[in-house]
Structure 1
Amino acid sequence: MTGGIDYGNLMHRAMRGLIQEVLEGVAKDGLPLDHHFFITFDTGHPDVEIADWLSDRYPGEMTVVMQHWYEDLDVTNEGFAVTLNFGDAPERLYIPYDAIKTFVDPSVEFGLRFESSEEEDAQRPHLTNAAPAEAEAEDDTDEPEEKPQKKDADIVSLDSFRK
Structure 2
Amino acid sequence: MSDDTPDSLIPYDEIVQEALRAVVGRVLGEVAHSGGLPGEHHFYITFKTAAPGVEIPKHLTERFPDEMTIVLQNKFWDLKVGEEGFEVGLSFNQVPAKLAIPFAAVTGFVDPAVNFALQFQAQGDDAEPEPHDEPGNDRPSAEPIEDGSNVVAVDFSRKK
**TM-score band w.r.t. shorter chain:** 0.7 to 0.9
Asked if 2 retains the 8 angstrom alpha-carbon contact of 1:51 and 1:91, the reply is yes
Q: Shift of residue 115 of structure 1?
A: 2.8
Structure 1 residues 82 and 4, CA gap change in structure 2 (3 angstroms): same
Listed as ranges, the gaps of 5+ residues in structure 2 are: 1-7, 127-132, 149-160
Partner of 1:26: 31
For residue 6 of structure 1, the aligned residue among 1, 11, 18 is: 11
- Residue by residue over 1:89-122, the C-alpha shift from the partner in whole angstroms, topping out at 9 and shown as x without a partner, is 1100001000001111111111111137xxx947
For residue 41 of structure 2, the aligned residue among 23, 35, 45 is: 35
**Matched residue SS, 1:19:** helix
Query: Quick one: which amino acid aligns to residue 90 of structure 2?
Result: L
Query: Quick one: which amino acid aligns to residue 16 of structure 1?
Result: R
Partner of 2:84: 78
For residue 115 of structure 1, the aligned residue among 102, 110, 121 is: 121
- Residue by residue over 1:4-57, the C-alpha shift from the partner in whole angstroms, topping out at 9 and shown as x without a partner, is 332211111111111110000000111011100001110011210000000001
Please, what TM-score do these two structures have when normalized by structure 2?
0.72
Aligned residues: 132
Please, what TM-score do these two structures have when normalized by structure 1?
0.71
Structure 1 residues 112 and 137, CA gap change in structure 2 (3 angstroms): closer
In the aligned structure 2, how far is the partner of 1:122 from the partner of 1:55? 18
Query: Quick one: which amino acid aligns to residue 22 of structure 1?
Result: V
Asked if 1 retains the 8 angstrom alpha-carbon contact of 2:71 and 2:135, the reply is no
- Corresponding position: 1:15 with 2:20: yes
**Matched residue SS, 1:47:** coil
Asked if 1 retains the 8 angstrom alpha-carbon contact of 2:115 and 2:146, the reply is no
Listed as ranges, the gaps of 5+ residues in structure 1 are: 124-134, 140-151
Q: CA RMSD in A?
A: 2.9
Q: Shift of residue 88 of structure 1?
A: 1.4
In the aligned structure 2, how far is the partner of 1:38 from the partner of 1:80? 14
Share of identical aligned residues, percent? 41
Query: Quick one: which amino acid aligns to residue 51 of structure 2?
Result: H
Asked if 2 retains the 8 angstrom alpha-carbon contact of 1:49 and 1:95, the reply is yes
Asked if 2 retains the 8 angstrom alpha-carbon contact of 1:38 and 1:65, the reply is yes
